[in-house]
Structure 1
Amino acid sequence: MNDNHSTRLYLNKVNIMTHRQSQPVIVYTPESRLRHPVILLREMRRDLLASRGLAWQLLVRDIKAQYRQSLLGVFWAFLPPIVTAVALLVAKDVGAINVGATSIPYPAYVMFSMALWQTFVEALNGPVAAVGAAKPMLAKINFPREALILAKLGEVFFNFGIKLLLIVALFIWFRIPVSEMVILAPVALVHLVGLGTGIGLWLSPLGALYQDIGRAIPLLMTPWLLLTPVIYPPPTKGWFSVLVNWNPVTPLLVTVRDLATVGMVSEPAGFWWASGLMVILLLSGWLFYRLAMPFIVERMSS
Protein backbone atom coordinates (compact mmCIF):
# COMPACT_ATOMS: atom_id res chain seq x y z
CA MET A 1 0.00 0.00 0.00
CA ASN A 2 2.83 2.36 0.82
CA ASP A 3 4.57 1.45 -2.43
CA ASN A 4 1.41 2.23 -4.40
CA HIS A 5 1.01 5.54 -2.55
CA SER A 6 4.64 6.46 -3.26
CA THR A 7 4.19 5.53 -6.91
CA ARG A 8 1.12 7.79 -7.19
CA LEU A 9 3.00 10.68 -5.59
CA TYR A 10 5.90 10.17 -7.96
CA LEU A 11 3.58 10.13 -10.99
CA ASN A 12 1.86 13.29 -9.78
CA LYS A 13 5.22 15.01 -9.45
CA VAL A 14 6.17 13.93 -12.96
CA ASN A 15 2.87 15.24 -14.35
CA ILE A 16 3.29 18.56 -12.59
CA MET A 17 6.86 18.94 -13.87
CA THR A 18 5.77 18.05 -17.40
CA HIS A 19 2.89 20.51 -17.20
CA ARG A 20 5.21 23.26 -16.03
CA GLN A 21 7.64 22.57 -18.80
CA SER A 22 4.85 22.84 -21.38
CA GLN A 23 3.86 26.35 -20.20
CA PRO A 24 5.24 29.35 -22.14
CA VAL A 25 8.17 31.06 -20.49
CA ILE A 26 7.86 34.84 -20.18
CA VAL A 27 11.13 36.76 -20.27
CA TYR A 28 11.22 40.47 -19.39
CA THR A 29 13.79 42.58 -21.21
CA PRO A 30 14.44 46.35 -21.38
CA GLU A 31 13.82 46.30 -25.14
CA SER A 32 10.61 48.01 -26.26
CA ARG A 33 7.88 45.57 -27.25
CA LEU A 34 6.89 47.89 -30.09
CA ARG A 35 10.00 46.69 -31.94
CA HIS A 36 8.21 43.37 -32.44
CA PRO A 37 4.63 44.33 -33.37
CA VAL A 38 3.66 40.90 -34.72
CA ILE A 39 4.61 39.18 -31.46
CA LEU A 40 2.87 41.93 -29.48
CA LEU A 41 -0.36 41.53 -31.47
CA ARG A 42 -0.25 37.76 -30.97
CA GLU A 43 0.15 38.23 -27.22
CA MET A 44 -2.73 40.73 -27.14
CA ARG A 45 -5.01 38.35 -29.02
CA ARG A 46 -3.95 35.41 -26.83
CA ASP A 47 -4.60 37.27 -23.58
CA LEU A 48 -7.90 38.64 -24.87
CA LEU A 49 -9.15 35.11 -25.53
CA ALA A 50 -7.68 33.78 -22.29
CA SER A 51 -9.38 36.48 -20.22
CA ARG A 52 -12.96 35.52 -21.12
CA GLY A 53 -13.48 33.13 -18.22
CA LEU A 54 -12.16 35.54 -15.62
CA ALA A 55 -14.08 38.41 -17.22
CA TRP A 56 -17.33 36.45 -16.86
CA GLN A 57 -16.65 35.77 -13.16
CA LEU A 58 -15.87 39.45 -12.55
CA LEU A 59 -19.00 40.49 -14.44
CA VAL A 60 -21.26 38.23 -12.38
CA ARG A 61 -19.61 39.38 -9.16
CA ASP A 62 -19.93 43.09 -10.03
CA ILE A 63 -23.56 42.85 -11.13
CA LYS A 64 -24.54 40.99 -7.98
CA ALA A 65 -22.72 43.53 -5.81
CA GLN A 66 -24.19 46.45 -7.75
CA TYR A 67 -27.82 45.45 -7.21
CA ARG A 68 -27.50 43.60 -3.90
CA GLN A 69 -26.30 46.74 -2.10
CA SER A 70 -29.06 48.96 -3.48
CA LEU A 71 -32.62 49.45 -2.26
CA LEU A 72 -33.95 50.46 -5.68
CA GLY A 73 -31.88 47.91 -7.59
CA VAL A 74 -32.45 47.99 -11.35
CA PHE A 75 -34.61 51.12 -11.06
CA TRP A 76 -31.39 53.16 -10.91
CA ALA A 77 -31.04 52.41 -14.62
CA PHE A 78 -34.41 54.11 -15.23
CA LEU A 79 -34.21 57.06 -12.84
CA PRO A 80 -31.66 59.38 -14.56
CA PRO A 81 -33.49 59.62 -17.91
CA ILE A 82 -36.90 59.85 -16.23
CA VAL A 83 -35.85 62.59 -13.79
CA THR A 84 -34.13 64.55 -16.57
CA ALA A 85 -37.19 64.28 -18.83
CA VAL A 86 -39.56 65.44 -16.09
CA ALA A 87 -37.37 68.45 -15.27
CA LEU A 88 -37.07 69.46 -18.94
CA LEU A 89 -40.78 69.03 -19.53
CA VAL A 90 -41.55 71.38 -16.66
CA ALA A 91 -39.01 73.90 -17.95
CA LYS A 92 -40.47 73.64 -21.45
CA ASP A 93 -44.08 74.07 -20.28
CA VAL A 94 -43.27 77.24 -18.33
CA GLY A 95 -41.35 78.66 -21.29
CA ALA A 96 -37.93 78.56 -19.66
CA ILE A 97 -36.44 76.65 -22.62
CA ASN A 98 -37.36 76.29 -26.27
CA VAL A 99 -35.89 73.14 -27.75
CA GLY A 100 -37.71 73.14 -31.08
CA ALA A 101 -39.50 70.29 -32.85
CA THR A 102 -38.37 66.71 -32.36
CA SER A 103 -38.97 63.65 -34.53
CA ILE A 104 -40.85 61.86 -31.73
CA PRO A 105 -42.75 63.16 -28.67
CA TYR A 106 -40.39 65.15 -26.50
CA PRO A 107 -40.64 63.01 -23.31
CA ALA A 108 -39.70 59.89 -25.31
CA TYR A 109 -37.01 61.84 -27.17
CA VAL A 110 -35.29 62.94 -23.97
CA MET A 111 -35.55 59.63 -22.13
CA PHE A 112 -34.32 57.64 -25.13
CA SER A 113 -31.42 60.03 -25.73
CA MET A 114 -30.48 60.13 -22.04
CA ALA A 115 -30.38 56.32 -21.94
CA LEU A 116 -27.92 56.38 -24.86
CA TRP A 117 -25.84 59.13 -23.27
CA GLN A 118 -25.72 57.31 -19.95
CA THR A 119 -24.52 54.17 -21.77
CA PHE A 120 -21.69 56.14 -23.38
CA VAL A 121 -20.67 57.61 -20.02
CA GLU A 122 -20.68 54.16 -18.40
CA ALA A 123 -18.46 52.85 -21.20
CA LEU A 124 -16.01 55.72 -20.68
CA ASN A 125 -15.94 55.37 -16.90
CA GLY A 126 -15.74 51.56 -17.01
CA PRO A 127 -11.98 51.06 -17.63
CA VAL A 128 -11.04 53.81 -15.16
CA ALA A 129 -13.29 52.36 -12.44
CA ALA A 130 -12.20 48.78 -13.16
CA VAL A 131 -8.48 49.49 -12.83
CA GLY A 132 -9.02 51.63 -9.74
CA ALA A 133 -11.08 48.94 -8.00
CA ALA A 134 -8.64 46.17 -8.94
CA LYS A 135 -5.49 47.81 -7.57
CA PRO A 136 -4.94 45.25 -4.77
CA MET A 137 -5.49 42.33 -7.17
CA LEU A 138 -3.23 43.86 -9.83
CA ALA A 139 -0.37 44.21 -7.35
CA LYS A 140 -0.57 40.60 -6.14
CA ILE A 141 -1.83 38.44 -9.01
CA ASN A 142 -0.60 38.14 -12.58
CA PHE A 143 -3.57 37.75 -14.91
CA PRO A 144 -4.65 39.12 -18.33
CA ARG A 145 -5.55 42.76 -17.71
CA GLU A 146 -8.06 42.63 -20.56
CA ALA A 147 -10.39 40.72 -18.22
CA LEU A 148 -11.12 43.95 -16.33
CA ILE A 149 -12.15 45.74 -19.53
CA LEU A 150 -14.27 42.86 -20.85
CA ALA A 151 -16.09 42.62 -17.52
CA LYS A 152 -16.96 46.32 -17.61
CA LEU A 153 -18.10 46.07 -21.22
CA GLY A 154 -20.41 43.25 -20.22
CA GLU A 155 -21.76 45.38 -17.39
CA VAL A 156 -22.41 48.28 -19.80
CA PHE A 157 -24.45 46.10 -22.15
CA PHE A 158 -26.26 44.45 -19.23
CA ASN A 159 -27.30 47.87 -17.91
CA PHE A 160 -28.40 48.94 -21.38
CA GLY A 161 -30.54 45.78 -21.58
CA ILE A 162 -32.38 47.05 -18.51
CA LYS A 163 -32.74 50.52 -20.08
CA LEU A 164 -34.10 48.83 -23.19
CA LEU A 165 -37.19 47.88 -21.19
CA LEU A 166 -37.84 51.59 -20.63
CA ILE A 167 -37.25 52.36 -24.32
CA VAL A 168 -39.71 49.66 -25.44
CA ALA A 169 -42.27 50.96 -22.95
CA LEU A 170 -41.82 54.48 -24.38
CA PHE A 171 -42.39 53.27 -27.92
CA ILE A 172 -45.56 51.47 -26.86
CA TRP A 173 -46.91 54.33 -24.71
CA PHE A 174 -46.37 57.04 -27.35
CA ARG A 175 -47.22 54.70 -30.25
CA ILE A 176 -43.95 55.37 -32.05
CA PRO A 177 -43.77 53.35 -35.28
CA VAL A 178 -40.74 51.11 -35.77
CA SER A 179 -39.22 50.50 -39.20
CA GLU A 180 -37.22 47.50 -40.35
CA MET A 181 -34.03 49.62 -40.11
CA VAL A 182 -34.18 49.28 -36.31
CA ILE A 183 -32.22 46.02 -36.66
CA LEU A 184 -29.15 48.15 -37.56
CA ALA A 185 -29.43 50.30 -34.42
CA PRO A 186 -27.34 47.83 -32.30
CA VAL A 187 -24.44 48.30 -34.73
CA ALA A 188 -24.39 52.05 -34.10
CA LEU A 189 -24.82 51.38 -30.37
CA VAL A 190 -21.71 49.15 -30.38
CA HIS A 191 -19.79 51.99 -32.06
CA LEU A 192 -20.99 54.41 -29.37
CA VAL A 193 -19.86 52.04 -26.60
CA GLY A 194 -16.57 51.46 -28.43
CA LEU A 195 -15.89 55.19 -28.52
CA GLY A 196 -16.41 55.51 -24.78
CA THR A 197 -14.30 52.42 -24.09
CA GLY A 198 -11.46 53.71 -26.29
CA ILE A 199 -11.34 56.98 -24.37
CA GLY A 200 -11.54 55.09 -21.08
CA LEU A 201 -8.62 52.85 -22.06
CA TRP A 202 -6.44 55.92 -22.56
CA LEU A 203 -7.48 57.34 -19.19
CA SER A 204 -7.42 54.19 -17.04
CA PRO A 205 -3.62 53.85 -16.52
CA LEU A 206 -3.41 57.52 -15.60
CA GLY A 207 -6.44 57.20 -13.35
CA ALA A 208 -4.71 54.40 -11.43
CA LEU A 209 -1.89 56.78 -10.52
CA TYR A 210 -3.70 60.11 -10.20
CA GLN A 211 -7.08 60.52 -8.54
CA ASP A 212 -7.52 63.78 -10.45
CA ILE A 213 -8.58 61.78 -13.52
CA GLY A 214 -11.55 60.21 -11.76
CA ARG A 215 -12.58 63.57 -10.33
CA ALA A 216 -12.24 65.42 -13.62
CA ILE A 217 -14.42 63.04 -15.66
CA PRO A 218 -17.77 64.02 -14.01
CA LEU A 219 -16.86 67.70 -14.40
CA LEU A 220 -16.31 67.25 -18.13
CA MET A 221 -19.46 65.21 -18.70
CA THR A 222 -21.87 68.11 -18.08
CA PRO A 223 -20.48 70.47 -20.76
CA TRP A 224 -20.01 67.49 -23.07
CA LEU A 225 -23.70 66.62 -22.58
CA LEU A 226 -24.68 70.17 -23.55
CA LEU A 227 -22.65 69.80 -26.76
CA THR A 228 -24.52 66.60 -27.64
CA PRO A 229 -28.10 66.69 -29.04
CA VAL A 230 -29.60 64.77 -26.15
CA ILE A 231 -32.11 67.31 -24.83
CA TYR A 232 -32.53 69.21 -28.10
CA PRO A 233 -32.60 68.30 -31.82
CA PRO A 234 -29.35 68.68 -33.77
CA PRO A 235 -28.86 72.34 -34.75
CA THR A 236 -28.31 73.12 -38.42
CA LYS A 237 -27.13 76.76 -38.35
CA GLY A 238 -24.59 78.91 -36.52
CA TRP A 239 -21.30 78.31 -34.79
CA PHE A 240 -22.96 76.15 -32.14
CA SER A 241 -24.01 73.64 -34.80
CA VAL A 242 -20.35 73.35 -35.86
CA LEU A 243 -19.33 72.45 -32.30
CA VAL A 244 -22.14 69.93 -31.98
CA ASN A 245 -21.39 68.28 -35.32
CA TRP A 246 -17.66 67.98 -34.57
CA ASN A 247 -18.46 66.26 -31.29
CA PRO A 248 -17.78 62.55 -32.11
CA VAL A 249 -20.58 61.39 -29.82
CA THR A 250 -23.17 63.33 -31.83
CA PRO A 251 -23.26 61.29 -35.07
CA LEU A 252 -23.11 57.95 -33.26
CA LEU A 253 -25.86 58.78 -30.76
CA VAL A 254 -28.03 60.42 -33.43
CA THR A 255 -27.61 57.41 -35.72
CA VAL A 256 -28.84 55.01 -33.03
CA ARG A 257 -31.81 57.28 -32.37
CA ASP A 258 -32.59 57.80 -36.06
CA LEU A 259 -32.47 54.10 -36.93
CA ALA A 260 -34.79 53.29 -34.04
CA THR A 261 -37.30 56.09 -34.69
CA VAL A 262 -37.33 57.39 -38.29
CA GLY A 263 -35.61 54.45 -39.98
CA MET A 264 -32.84 56.40 -41.74
CA VAL A 265 -29.40 57.89 -41.07
CA SER A 266 -29.55 61.68 -41.20
CA GLU A 267 -25.76 62.19 -41.23
CA PRO A 268 -24.05 59.14 -42.80
CA ALA A 269 -20.75 60.99 -43.37
CA GLY A 270 -20.62 61.99 -39.69
CA PHE A 271 -21.35 58.43 -38.62
CA TRP A 272 -18.47 57.04 -40.68
CA TRP A 273 -15.85 59.55 -39.56
CA ALA A 274 -16.89 59.08 -35.92
CA SER A 275 -16.74 55.29 -36.39
CA GLY A 276 -13.25 55.59 -37.86
CA LEU A 277 -12.18 57.67 -34.87
CA MET A 278 -13.71 55.05 -32.59
CA VAL A 279 -11.62 52.27 -34.17
CA ILE A 280 -8.44 54.34 -33.86
CA LEU A 281 -9.11 55.25 -30.22
CA LEU A 282 -10.11 51.70 -29.29
CA LEU A 283 -7.08 49.98 -30.83
CA SER A 284 -4.55 52.62 -29.78
CA GLY A 285 -6.11 52.78 -26.31
CA TRP A 286 -5.84 49.01 -25.96
CA LEU A 287 -2.19 49.17 -27.04
CA PHE A 288 -1.45 51.99 -24.59
CA TYR A 289 -3.28 50.14 -21.82
CA ARG A 290 -1.36 46.96 -22.61
CA LEU A 291 2.06 48.64 -22.57
CA ALA A 292 1.41 50.95 -19.63
CA MET A 293 -0.14 48.52 -17.14
CA PRO A 294 3.12 46.68 -16.20
CA PHE A 295 4.69 50.02 -15.28
CA ILE A 296 1.54 51.10 -13.43
CA VAL A 297 1.49 47.84 -11.43
CA GLU A 298 5.16 48.22 -10.60
CA ARG A 299 4.56 51.82 -9.49
CA MET A 300 1.65 50.75 -7.29
CA SER A 301 3.67 47.90 -5.76
CA SER A 302 6.66 50.06 -4.83
Structure 2
Amino acid sequence: MFRSLWQYRHFILSSIRGDLKGRFVRSRLGGLWFLLHPLAQALIFSIVLSEVLKARLPDTDIPAAYPIYLLSGMAAWSLFNEILTRSMTVFIEQAPVMKKIAFPRLCLPIIVGGTALINHLLLLVAIFVIFIFLGHMPGRALILLPIGIVLIAAIGFGLGVILGVVNVFVRDVAQVMLIVLQLWYWLTPIVYPANVLPEQYAFLLNLNPLAPLTALYQDALLFDRWPSAESLAMPAALGLVSMAFAIVFFRRASPELIDVL
Protein backbone atom coordinates (compact mmCIF):
# COMPACT_ATOMS: atom_id res chain seq x y z
CA MET A 1 0.00 0.00 0.00
CA PHE A 2 2.72 2.48 0.95
CA ARG A 3 4.71 1.61 -2.16
CA SER A 4 1.63 2.30 -4.29
CA LEU A 5 1.08 5.63 -2.55
CA TRP A 6 4.68 6.62 -3.26
CA GLN A 7 4.26 5.68 -6.92
CA TYR A 8 1.21 7.96 -7.09
CA ARG A 9 2.86 10.87 -5.25
CA HIS A 10 2.67 13.11 -8.32
CA PHE A 11 -1.04 12.35 -8.63
CA ILE A 12 -1.50 13.29 -4.95
CA LEU A 13 0.43 16.55 -5.30
CA SER A 14 -1.36 17.60 -8.49
CA SER A 15 -4.73 16.75 -6.92
CA ILE A 16 -3.92 18.91 -3.88
CA ARG A 17 -2.98 21.76 -6.21
CA GLY A 18 -6.16 21.28 -8.23
CA ASP A 19 -8.29 21.11 -5.09
CA LEU A 20 -6.89 24.40 -3.82
CA LYS A 21 -7.42 26.11 -7.17
CA GLY A 22 -10.86 24.64 -7.83
CA ARG A 23 -12.52 25.65 -4.58
CA PHE A 24 -12.90 29.27 -5.50
CA VAL A 25 -12.95 29.33 -9.29
CA ARG A 26 -14.34 32.67 -10.53
CA SER A 27 -13.96 34.12 -7.05
CA ARG A 28 -12.41 37.58 -6.89
CA LEU A 29 -10.67 36.94 -3.56
CA GLY A 30 -9.79 33.32 -4.35
CA GLY A 31 -7.71 31.62 -1.66
CA LEU A 32 -8.19 34.50 0.75
CA TRP A 33 -11.53 32.94 1.70
CA PHE A 34 -9.56 30.13 3.34
CA LEU A 35 -8.36 32.74 5.83
CA LEU A 36 -11.31 35.13 6.00
CA HIS A 37 -13.90 32.61 7.23
CA PRO A 38 -12.09 31.46 10.41
CA LEU A 39 -10.71 34.94 11.07
CA ALA A 40 -14.17 36.49 10.79
CA GLN A 41 -15.56 33.88 13.18
CA ALA A 42 -12.76 34.55 15.66
CA LEU A 43 -13.30 38.31 15.34
CA ILE A 44 -17.03 37.94 16.08
CA PHE A 45 -16.32 35.77 19.12
CA SER A 46 -13.68 38.21 20.32
CA ILE A 47 -15.99 41.23 20.03
CA VAL A 48 -18.99 39.53 21.63
CA LEU A 49 -17.15 37.81 24.46
CA SER A 50 -14.34 40.22 25.28
CA GLU A 51 -16.07 43.54 24.62
CA VAL A 52 -19.80 42.91 25.10
CA LEU A 53 -19.64 40.24 27.81
CA LYS A 54 -16.32 41.55 29.20
CA ALA A 55 -14.68 38.12 29.17
CA ARG A 56 -11.10 38.19 30.40
CA LEU A 57 -8.34 35.65 30.85
CA PRO A 58 -6.96 35.17 34.35
CA ASP A 59 -3.24 35.25 35.18
CA THR A 60 -2.22 37.47 32.27
CA ASP A 61 -1.81 41.19 31.75
CA ILE A 62 -1.53 41.07 27.94
CA PRO A 63 -4.09 43.62 26.61
CA ALA A 64 -5.20 41.47 23.66
CA ALA A 65 -4.90 38.15 25.52
CA TYR A 66 -8.42 36.92 24.84
CA PRO A 67 -8.45 37.42 21.04
CA ILE A 68 -5.02 35.76 20.86
CA TYR A 69 -6.23 32.87 23.04
CA LEU A 70 -9.32 32.47 20.87
CA LEU A 71 -7.46 32.61 17.56
CA SER A 72 -4.92 30.05 18.78
CA GLY A 73 -7.57 27.56 19.87
CA MET A 74 -9.66 28.03 16.74
CA ALA A 75 -6.60 27.45 14.54
CA ALA A 76 -6.04 24.06 16.20
CA TRP A 77 -9.71 23.12 15.94
CA SER A 78 -10.07 24.20 12.30
CA LEU A 79 -7.28 21.83 11.23
CA PHE A 80 -8.86 18.87 13.00
CA ASN A 81 -12.38 19.75 11.85
CA GLU A 82 -11.43 20.12 8.17
CA ILE A 83 -9.50 16.86 7.97
CA LEU A 84 -12.17 14.89 9.82
CA THR A 85 -15.28 16.26 8.10
CA ARG A 86 -13.87 16.11 4.58
CA SER A 87 -12.43 12.62 5.08
CA MET A 88 -15.84 11.36 6.22
CA THR A 89 -17.42 12.18 2.85
CA VAL A 90 -14.49 12.00 0.44
CA PHE A 91 -15.21 8.44 -0.75
CA ILE A 92 -18.84 9.25 -1.50
CA GLU A 93 -18.00 12.56 -3.19
CA GLN A 94 -15.31 10.95 -5.35
CA ALA A 95 -17.30 7.82 -6.22
CA PRO A 96 -17.44 8.63 -9.98
CA VAL A 97 -13.65 9.03 -10.07
CA MET A 98 -13.10 5.82 -8.11
CA LYS A 99 -15.26 3.88 -10.58
CA LYS A 100 -13.48 5.20 -13.68
CA ILE A 101 -9.82 5.52 -12.67
CA ALA A 102 -7.57 2.91 -11.05
CA PHE A 103 -5.48 4.40 -8.25
CA PRO A 104 -4.85 3.68 -4.54
CA ARG A 105 -8.08 4.74 -2.83
CA LEU A 106 -6.15 5.89 0.23
CA CYS A 107 -4.87 8.76 -1.93
CA LEU A 108 -8.20 10.52 -1.43
CA PRO A 109 -7.97 11.17 2.34
CA ILE A 110 -4.26 11.95 1.92
CA ILE A 111 -5.21 14.65 -0.61
CA VAL A 112 -7.75 15.98 1.88
CA GLY A 113 -5.13 16.03 4.62
CA GLY A 114 -2.56 17.74 2.40
CA THR A 115 -5.03 20.45 1.40
CA ALA A 116 -6.00 21.00 5.05
CA LEU A 117 -2.37 21.34 6.11
CA ILE A 118 -1.69 23.98 3.46
CA ASN A 119 -4.83 25.87 4.51
CA HIS A 120 -3.67 25.66 8.11
CA LEU A 121 -0.23 27.05 7.35
CA LEU A 122 -1.81 29.96 5.47
CA LEU A 123 -4.11 30.58 8.43
CA LEU A 124 -1.16 30.61 10.82
CA VAL A 125 0.57 33.21 8.63
CA ALA A 126 -2.56 35.37 8.76
CA ILE A 127 -2.76 34.92 12.55
CA PHE A 128 0.86 36.01 12.96
CA VAL A 129 0.09 39.15 10.97
CA ILE A 130 -2.82 39.86 13.32
CA PHE A 131 -0.51 39.29 16.30
CA ILE A 132 1.82 41.96 14.94
CA PHE A 133 -1.05 44.46 14.76
CA LEU A 134 -2.01 43.49 18.32
CA GLY A 135 1.56 44.10 19.46
CA HIS A 136 2.18 40.48 20.47
CA MET A 137 5.03 38.23 19.43
CA PRO A 138 5.09 34.51 20.36
CA GLY A 139 8.09 33.27 22.35
CA ARG A 140 10.44 30.32 22.04
CA ALA A 141 7.67 27.82 22.78
CA LEU A 142 6.54 28.43 19.19
CA ILE A 143 8.99 25.74 18.05
CA LEU A 144 6.65 23.12 19.59
CA LEU A 145 3.77 24.08 17.29
CA PRO A 146 4.72 21.46 14.63
CA ILE A 147 4.17 18.75 17.27
CA GLY A 148 0.60 19.95 17.72
CA ILE A 149 0.08 20.08 13.95
CA VAL A 150 1.31 16.50 13.48
CA LEU A 151 -0.77 15.08 16.34
CA ILE A 152 -3.95 16.90 15.29
CA ALA A 153 -3.50 15.78 11.68
CA ALA A 154 -2.87 12.18 12.78
CA ILE A 155 -6.02 12.03 14.94
CA GLY A 156 -8.13 13.75 12.28
CA PHE A 157 -6.81 11.50 9.50
CA GLY A 158 -7.22 8.27 11.48
CA LEU A 159 -10.74 9.00 12.66
CA GLY A 160 -11.67 10.50 9.29
CA VAL A 161 -10.67 7.41 7.29
CA ILE A 162 -12.46 5.06 9.70
CA LEU A 163 -15.65 7.11 9.71
CA GLY A 164 -15.35 7.72 5.96
CA VAL A 165 -15.37 3.99 5.24
CA VAL A 166 -18.26 3.37 7.65
CA ASN A 167 -20.16 6.28 6.11
CA VAL A 168 -20.11 4.52 2.74
CA PHE A 169 -22.08 1.64 4.24
CA VAL A 170 -24.16 3.63 6.75
CA ARG A 171 -24.85 7.15 5.49
CA ASP A 172 -26.12 8.37 8.87
CA VAL A 173 -22.59 8.45 10.26
CA ALA A 174 -21.69 11.83 8.76
CA GLN A 175 -24.93 13.40 9.97
CA VAL A 176 -24.42 12.12 13.51
CA MET A 177 -20.82 13.31 13.54
CA LEU A 178 -21.85 16.85 12.64
CA ILE A 179 -23.79 16.96 15.91
CA VAL A 180 -20.97 15.26 17.82
CA LEU A 181 -18.45 17.78 16.50
CA GLN A 182 -20.56 20.69 17.70
CA LEU A 183 -20.63 19.21 21.19
CA TRP A 184 -16.93 18.33 20.94
CA TYR A 185 -16.09 21.95 20.04
CA TRP A 186 -17.79 23.35 23.13
CA LEU A 187 -16.18 20.71 25.38
CA THR A 188 -12.75 21.86 24.17
CA PRO A 189 -11.29 24.96 25.92
CA ILE A 190 -11.28 27.27 22.90
CA VAL A 191 -13.80 29.99 23.75
CA TYR A 192 -13.27 29.66 27.51
CA PRO A 193 -10.30 28.82 29.79
CA ALA A 194 -10.16 25.25 31.06
CA ASN A 195 -10.41 26.32 34.70
CA VAL A 196 -13.92 27.77 34.28
CA LEU A 197 -15.49 24.41 33.42
CA PRO A 198 -17.76 23.20 36.28
CA GLU A 199 -16.18 20.52 38.44
CA GLN A 200 -18.73 17.87 37.46
CA TYR A 201 -17.65 18.22 33.83
CA ALA A 202 -13.92 18.74 34.38
CA PHE A 203 -13.24 15.01 33.87
CA LEU A 204 -14.29 15.43 30.24
CA LEU A 205 -11.11 17.40 29.57
CA ASN A 206 -9.08 14.34 30.55
CA LEU A 207 -11.02 12.29 27.99
CA ASN A 208 -10.76 14.93 25.26
CA PRO A 209 -7.61 14.39 23.14
CA LEU A 210 -7.95 17.85 21.58
CA ALA A 211 -7.90 19.66 24.93
CA PRO A 212 -4.12 19.32 25.44
CA LEU A 213 -3.49 20.04 21.75
CA THR A 214 -5.45 23.29 21.74
CA ALA A 215 -3.69 24.12 25.02
CA LEU A 216 -0.38 23.53 23.25
CA TYR A 217 -1.35 26.10 20.61
CA GLN A 218 -2.49 28.58 23.26
CA ASP A 219 0.63 28.05 25.37
CA ALA A 220 2.91 28.42 22.36
CA LEU A 221 1.22 31.44 20.80
CA LEU A 222 0.10 33.35 23.90
CA PHE A 223 1.67 32.27 27.18
CA ASP A 224 5.07 31.08 25.89
CA ARG A 225 4.77 27.98 28.08
CA TRP A 226 6.06 24.50 27.38
CA PRO A 227 3.51 21.67 27.68
CA SER A 228 4.21 18.66 29.83
CA ALA A 229 5.05 15.38 28.14
CA GLU A 230 2.31 13.66 30.17
CA SER A 231 -0.39 15.87 28.66
CA LEU A 232 0.63 14.87 25.12
CA ALA A 233 0.89 11.14 25.80
CA MET A 234 -2.81 10.41 25.27
CA PRO A 235 -3.15 12.42 22.00
CA ALA A 236 0.04 10.82 20.66
CA ALA A 237 -1.21 7.32 21.51
CA LEU A 238 -4.61 8.02 19.99
CA GLY A 239 -3.01 9.40 16.82
CA LEU A 240 -0.83 6.31 16.34
CA VAL A 241 -3.59 3.83 17.17
CA SER A 242 -6.23 5.56 15.04
CA MET A 243 -3.93 5.78 12.01
CA ALA A 244 -2.83 2.15 12.33
CA PHE A 245 -6.40 0.93 12.76
CA ALA A 246 -7.58 3.18 9.89
CA ILE A 247 -5.06 1.64 7.47
CA VAL A 248 -5.93 -1.94 8.49
CA PHE A 249 -9.66 -1.22 8.43
CA PHE A 250 -9.41 0.48 5.04
CA ARG A 251 -7.49 -2.43 3.51
CA ARG A 252 -10.15 -4.87 4.72
CA ALA A 253 -13.08 -2.78 3.47
CA SER A 254 -11.67 -1.29 0.26
CA PRO A 255 -12.63 -4.24 -2.03
CA GLU A 256 -16.29 -3.66 -1.17
CA LEU A 257 -16.28 0.15 -1.40
CA ILE A 258 -16.81 0.32 -5.16
CA ASP A 259 -19.63 -2.21 -5.09
CA VAL A 260 -21.49 -0.27 -2.40
CA LEU A 261 -20.90 3.09 -4.05
Pairwise same-fold verdict (TM > 0.5): yes
Secondary structure of residue in 2 paired with 1:101: coil
Letter in 2 for 1:292: A
Alpha-carbon distance in structure 2 between the residues aligned to 1:132 and 1:186: 31
Q: What is the rounded CA distance, in whole Å, between the counterparts of 2:238 and 2:26 in structure 1?
A: 37
8 Å CA contact retained: 2:76, 2:213: no
C-alpha RMSD of the superposition? 2.2
Corresponding residue for residue 82 of structure 2: 122
Does the C-alpha gap of structure 1 residues 267 and 48 become closer, same or farther in structure 2, counting only changes over 3 Å?
same
C-alpha distance after superposition, 1:16-39 (max 9, x if no partner): xxxxxxxxxxxxxxxxxxxxxxxx
1:90 alignment counterpart = 48
**1:37 matched residue in structure 2:** none
How far the C-alpha of 1:179 sits from its partner, in A, is 2.1
* SS of residue matched to 2:202: helix
Q: Structure 2: how far apart are the matches of 1:214 and 1:98?
A: 34
Q: % of aligned pairs identical?
A: 25
**Whole-Å Cα distance in 2 between the matches of residues 59 and 102 of structure 1?**
42
Match of 2:217 among 247, 256, 266: 256
Q: State the structure with bigger RCO (CA 8 A, min sep 6), 1 or 2.
A: 2
Distance 1:284 1:148 in 2: 17
Alpha carbons of structure 1 residues 180 and 266: separation in structure 2 relative to 1, 3 Å: closer
Q: Counterparts of 1:87 and 1:128 in 2: how far apart (Å)?
A: 28
Shift of 1:111: 2.0
Are residue 165 (structure 1) and residue 165 (structure 2) matched? Answer: no
Cα shift at 1:260: 3.0
Query: Whole-Å Cα distance in 1 between the matches of residues 157 and 83 of structure 2?
Result: 5
Instruction: State the SS of the aligned residue for 2:195.
Output: coil
Task: Identify the residue that residue 61 of structure 1 maps to in structure 2.
Answer: 18
Distance 2:214 2:95 in 1: 33
Is the aligned partner of 1:80 residue 2:38? Answer: yes
- The alpha-carbon deviation at position 296 of structure 1 amounts to 1.4
Tell whether the 8 Å contact from 2:72 to 2:214 is kept in structure 1 after alignment: no
Given that residues 141 and 219 in structure 2 are in contact (C-alpha distance below 8 angstroms), is that contact kept between their aligned partners in structure 1? no
CA shift for structure 1 position 254: 1.3
Match of 1:164, as an amino acid? L
Say yes or no: does 1:279 pair with 2:240.
yes
Q: How many residues align?
A: 256
Indicate conservation of the 8 Å contact 1:123/1:193, yes or no. yes
Cα contact 1:128–1:203 (8 A) shared by 2: yes
Aligned residue among 37, 42, 45 for 2:2: 45
- What is the SS of the residue equivalent to 1:67? coil
- Trace 1:104-123 onto structure 2 (pairs within 5 A): 105-123=65-83
| C-alpha spacing 1:177/1:165, structure 2 compared with 1 (3 Å) | closer
Instruction: Check 1:146–1:202 CA distance in 2 against 1; reply closer, same or farther (3 A cut).
Output: same
Larger radius of gyration between Structure 1 and Structure 2: 1
Deviations 1:98-140 (A, max 9, x none): 5643755111221221122111101112322321221012123
Residue 101 in structure 1 maps to residue 61 in structure 2: no
Q: Unpaired segments of 5 or more residues in structure 2? A: none
Secondary structure of 1:235's match? helix
Residues 51 and 173 of structure 1, relative CA distance in 2, 3 Å threshold: same
